[in-house]
């Protein structure tokens, strides 16, 4: 059984890395939401979903 002093501890990410992760997440979400503004994308997506049934 490992002793408490030998267990690995997880360090929180530095602030700049956390900011970078959140910016990347926000950019991906904005790109996904922007696709929904394109009517031809919505038709293609609906056709693909409908083809599953």
| Angstrom distance (rounded) from CA 11 to CA 17 | 12
Query: Is residue 35 within 8 Å of 41, Cβ to Cβ?
Result: yes
pLDDT computed for residue 49 by the predictor: 94
| Angstrom distance (rounded) from CA 23 to CA 38 | 23
Q: Is the pTM of this model over 0.75?
A: no
DSSP state of 7: S
pLDDT at residue 2 greater than cutoff 90:
no
pLDDT computed for residue 53 by the predictor: 86
| Angstrom distance (rounded) from CA 53 to CA 44 | 15
pLDDT in tens, 3-52: 666 667 788 889 999 999 999 999 999 999 999 889 998 899 899 999 99
């Amino acid at each position: 059984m490992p002793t408490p002093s030998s267990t690995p501890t997880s360090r929180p990410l530095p602030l700049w890395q956390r900011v970078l992760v959140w910016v990347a997440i926000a950019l991906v979400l904005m790109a996904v939401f922007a696709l929904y503004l394109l009517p031809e994308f919505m038709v293609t997506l609906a056709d693909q979903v409908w083809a599953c049934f």
